[in-house]
Amino acid sequence: MYRTHTCGELRLADVKKEVTLCGWIQKIRHLGGMIFIDLRDRYGITQLAFNHELKPELCEQVEKMGREWVIQATGIVIERYSKNPNIPTGEIEIDVQKVNVLNEAITPPFTIEDVSDGGDELRMKYRYLDLRRNPVKNNIIFRHKLGLEIRKYLNGQGFLEIETPFLVNSTPEGARDFLVPSRMNPGEFYALPQSPQTLKQLLMISGMDRYFQIVRCFRDEDLRADRQPEFTQIDCEMSFIEQEDILNLFEGLVKHIFKTFKNIDLEPIERITWADAMKYYGSDKPDARFGMRFVELNDLLQHKEFKVFNEAELVVGIKVDGCGNYSRKQLDGLVEFVKSPHVGAGGLVYILCNADGTFKSSVDKFYDQEDLKAVAVRCEANPGDLILIMSGKAMKTRTQLSALRLEMGNRLGLRKAGEYKVLWVVDFPLLEWDEETQRFYAMHHPFTAPKPEHEDMLESNPGAVNANAYDLVINGSEVGGGSIRIHDPELQKRMFKALNFTEEQAQSQFGFLIDAFRFGAPPHGGIAFGFDRLCAVLSDCDSIRDFIAFPKNNSGRDTMLPAPTPIAQAQLDELNIDIKIPQNAK
Ligand code: ASP
């Protein structure tokens, strides 16, 4: 037997027991006639004590050891003289009788401690060492527990976990696919699934009724902190349900998660329409932990000589409480922020609501005190508040003001960790017009059902059709999304038509689904949650990477393995692939 206990297990009640522990040496300290080792494993740290005088040979052996060596130590549990209240095993130590070196270790490239001296890149290259550190390890343990609890909950609701294939067909609609060449079928490719969307719909046609899967999805997109080329969804689908059933069932799941992991009893989840989310927050995933709702000002500000406003489709502002005393420098800082490339606005107009009831604005040349007062009244601003106004094309301006709103929320500490605001965003538009390609795209995906009362407009006014689609948003993060699906083959055909598909294109890409619908498709719908993101949001963390054991960097690389790498010519030949390697390739 390698060990009798783990390094996180022993307490005062175990004193006098003979035990054997295994683990990694976190630290060796010499203190007077003693040597102390912090022995670490997944479960914690236990102090090993070696007495020079009583066991000189043992101490000589220990002196040769180094950080991260793997050892096995046998000894007696004793009460510690100076206790460490910071760790659960802090009241005891092991008076070691015998040590066995299981493996030596070279010096790690960074310190394996809660706060490490290793930079991001180094820690990613040696991720297996990074995973020895508590903060990273605990994230992975949290992920495991969350997954388990979700499985238990869904099982309790009658869901079956069913695996779907990773080697599937490519569907150009949506994000870019990762492709896999087929050796046995020269010139043909599989795609890795962007999600099991069509497969879970087929499972409904199979009569599986309630399906879920905690499943890897692959999308070849440009990456950000909260995106990975492969990520995990909690993918769900149900038959014989309406939108209301789905929202209620998964509200139950979300509440259960918050209760179990945060001990928070969530309020009933508020619902906001997509149109209102855009109108009041400029975003389809609003962070509703704080107000600063948008106030539209066209009618109040388009009657003077200020061309910027007069020519704008939308003039819209936010009121920031208590910032009416902002200095010129602070205001300039905000202007700079909105002009930065990631916001991309032309400028920003501000109105300071002075303590004496007067107003000072960056557009005093055009607007008198009465004009400014009208704006302040509309914004419900009090003396001492600040009003920030942006203008331009409606959608673009909303997005830009939304960025400013979040920035102000950050600056004022209104986006508090540990506080959660969960929303259902409902009534999404079915289609989205793309200027560049001059066609409509499915806002969610091509299988999403229009609201029955809007079905008639699919041909006459497609842009005005709303969908039975919904997103779950937590603190400004889109954590889940889904929809009621089309189950009528005729309606699906009309949808493909609205998306500019010829009948042949629809048949060649989605023929299998259209055909399947003819064999008795039940009314169905579903939702998928981003599992990595859910882990991050529940831990008040921005990066999903911290919750993935072996994540990729922003260029989609795993620097540890490493991947991707060039492939030997023989392998390429076998796959019948003739590639032109770019000049600048590594
Ligand atoms: N498959 C969808 C997605 O990946 C989710 C859903 O509609 O269930 O976004």
| Domains, the chain, ordered by start | 12-103 (2.40.50.140), 290-415 (3.30.1360.30)
Cβ < 6 A, ligand 1 pocket: 195, 197, 481-483, 526-528
pLDDT at 193 over 60: yes
What pLDDT shows up at residue 585? 60
Residue 129, CA distances (Å) to 52, 105, 108, 113 in order: 32, 12, 8, 10
Rounded Cα gap, residues 507 and 372, in angstroms: 59
**What is the distance in A from the centroid of ligand 1 to the CA of 168?**
16
Q: Which of 248, 261, 28 is CA-nearest to residue 142?
A: 261
Rounded Cα gap, residues 512 and 506, in angstroms: 10
Ligand 1, atom 6, residue with closest C-alpha: 482
Ligand 1, atom 4, residue with closest C-alpha: 195
Mean of pLDDT values over 40-47: 98
pLDDT at 322 over 80: yes
Q: Identify the residue whose tokens are 């600063």.
A: 292
Ligand 1, atom 8, residue with closest C-alpha: 527
Q: Which of 211, 249, 428, 445 to mutate to test the pocket of ligand 1 (most atoms within 8 A of CB)?
A: 445
Q: Count CB-CB contacts under 10 A for residue 322.
A: 11
Ligand 1, atom 7, residue with closest C-alpha: 482
Q: Which of 173, 234, 235 to mutate to test the pocket of ligand 1 (most atoms within 8 A of CB)?
A: 235
**What is the distance in A from the centroid of ligand 1 to the CA of 471?**
10
Which tens digit of pLDDT belongs to each residue from 209-259?
999 999 999 999 887 767 899 999 999 999 999 999 999 999 999 999 999
pLDDT at 586 over 60: no
Q: Identify the residue whose tokens are 């040696």.
A: 126
Mean of pLDDT values over 408-428: 97
Atom number, ligand 1, closest to the C-alpha of residue 485 = 7
Rounded Cα gap, residues 373 and 431, in angstroms: 40
**What is the distance in A from the centroid of ligand 1 to the CA of 451?**
18
**What is the distance in A from the centroid of ligand 1 to the CA of 425?**
15
φ, ψ of residue 529 in degrees (nearest 5):
-105, 145
Atom number, ligand 1, closest to the C-alpha of residue 233 = 4
**Residue 350 · residue 334 · CB < 8 Å:** yes
**What is the distance in A from the centroid of ligand 1 to the CA of 470?**
10
Q: Count CB-CB contacts under 10 A for residue 575.
A: 17
What pLDDT shows up at residue 579? 82
Mean of pLDDT values over 95-103: 97
The percent helix, strand, coil of the chain (3-state, each to 5) is 30, 25, 45
Reading across the β-sheet that carries 422-426, which strands appear in turn? Answer: 160-161, 210-218, 230-239, 524-530, 477-484, 469-474, 422-426, 270-273
In this structure, what token pair is assigned to residue 460?
Answer: 């006459």
Rounded Cα gap, residues 200 and 233, in angstroms: 13
Q: Which of 201, 233, 478 to mutate to test the pocket of ligand 1 (most atoms within 8 A of CB)?
A: 233
pLDDT at 78 over 90: yes
Q: Which of 444, 472, 486 to mutate to test the pocket of ligand 1 (most atoms within 8 A of CB)?
A: 444
What pLDDT shows up at residue 223? 73
Rounded Cα gap, residues 20 and 76, in angstroms: 9
**What is the distance in A from the centroid of ligand 1 to the CA of 281?**
24
Helix (H, G, I), strand (E, B), or coil: what is residue 196? coil
Residue 264, CA distances (Å) to 21, 85, 383, 419 in order: 38, 28, 37, 10
What pLDDT shows up at residue 326? 97
Give the helix/strand (H/E) hosting 102.
strand 92-103
pLDDT averaged over every residue in the chain: 96
In this structure, what token pair is assigned to residue 257?
Answer: 């998660």
**What is the distance in A from the centroid of ligand 1 to the CA of 358?**
52
pLDDT at 445 over 60: yes
**What is the distance in A from the centroid of ligand 1 to the CA of 481?**
6
State yes or no: cis peptide before 564, omega within 30 of 0: yes
% of the chain with per-residue pLDDT over 90: 93
Rounded Cα gap, residues 401 and 283, in angstroms: 9
Mean of pLDDT values over 30-59: 95
User: Bridge-partner residues for 191, per DSSP?
Assistant: 168, 179
In this structure, what token pair is assigned to residue 77?
Answer: 């549990």
Atom number, ligand 1, closest to the C-alpha of residue 194 = 4
Helix (H, G, I), strand (E, B), or coil: what is residue 250? helix
Helix (H, G, I), strand (E, B), or coil: what is residue 419? coil
User: Bridge-partner residues for 41, per DSSP?
Assistant: 44
Atom number, ligand 1, closest to the C-alpha of residue 197 = 1
Ligand 1, atom 1, residue with closest C-alpha: 197
**Residue 498 · residue 459 · CB < 8 Å:** yes
**What is the distance in A from the centroid of ligand 1 to the CA of 526?**
8
Handedness of CA 484, 488, 492, 495 (dihedral sign): negative
Residue 23, CA distances (Å) to 136, 137, 493 in order: 18, 15, 62
**Residue 204 · residue 239 · CB < 8 Å:** yes
pLDDT at 3 over 90: yes
Which tens digit of pLDDT belongs to each residue from 532-570?
999 999 999 989 999 999 999 989 999 999 999 999 999
Atom number, ligand 1, closest to the C-alpha of residue 448 = 7
φ, ψ of residue 45 in degrees (nearest 5):
-130, 135
What pLDDT shows up at residue 583? 66
Q: Identify the residue whose tokens are 């992975």.
A: 140
Rounded Cα gap, residues 418 and 233, in angstroms: 24
% of the chain with per-residue pLDDT over 70: 98
What pLDDT shows up at residue 171? 78
**What is the distance in A from the centroid of ligand 1 to the CA of 199?**
11
Q: Identify the residue whose tokens are 């599986």.
A: 208
Mean of pLDDT values over 403-410: 98
Which tens digit of pLDDT belongs to each residue from 309-320?
999 999 999 999
Atom number, ligand 1, closest to the C-alpha of residue 237 = 8
Please tell me which residue, 272 or 554, carries the higher pLDDT value. Answer: 272
**What is the distance in A from the centroid of ligand 1 to the CA of 233?**
9
**What is the distance in A from the centroid of ligand 1 to the CA of 238?**
13
Q: Which of 425, 422, 424, 143 is CA-nearest to residue 255?
A: 422
**What is the distance in A from the centroid of ligand 1 to the CA of 559?**
30
Which tens digit of pLDDT belongs to each residue from 274-296?
999 999 999 999 999 999 999 99
Model pTM score: 0.94
Q: Count CB-CB contacts under 10 A for residue 355.
A: 11
**What is the distance in A from the centroid of ligand 1 to the CA of 529?**
8
The runs of H, that is alpha helices, within 116-214 are 120-125, 127-130, 134-156, 197-205
**What is the distance in A from the centroid of ligand 1 to the CA of 482?**
5
Q: Which of 177, 197, 233 to mutate to test the pocket of ligand 1 (most atoms within 8 A of CB)?
A: 197
φ, ψ of residue 355 in degrees (nearest 5):
-60, -30
pLDDT at 494 over 70: yes
Atom number, ligand 1, closest to the C-alpha of residue 196 = 1
Rounded Cα gap, residues 27 and 45, in angstroms: 10
Listed in sequence order, the residues at least 6 apart from 422 whose beta carbon sits closer than 8 Å to its beta carbon are: 254, 258, 266, 269, 270, 472, 473, 474
**What is the distance in A from the centroid of ligand 1 to the CA of 195?**
7
Which tens digit of pLDDT belongs to each residue from 150-172?
999 999 999 999 999 999 998 76
Residue 226, CA distances (Å) to 143, 383, 553 in order: 16, 39, 11
Lowest mean pLDDT among 122-131, 347-356, 433-442: 433-442
Atom number, ligand 1, closest to the C-alpha of residue 217 = 4
Q: Which of 290, 285, 281, 318 is CA-nearest to residue 410?
A: 290
Q: Which of 173, 192, 195 to mutate to test the pocket of ligand 1 (most atoms within 8 A of CB)?
A: 195
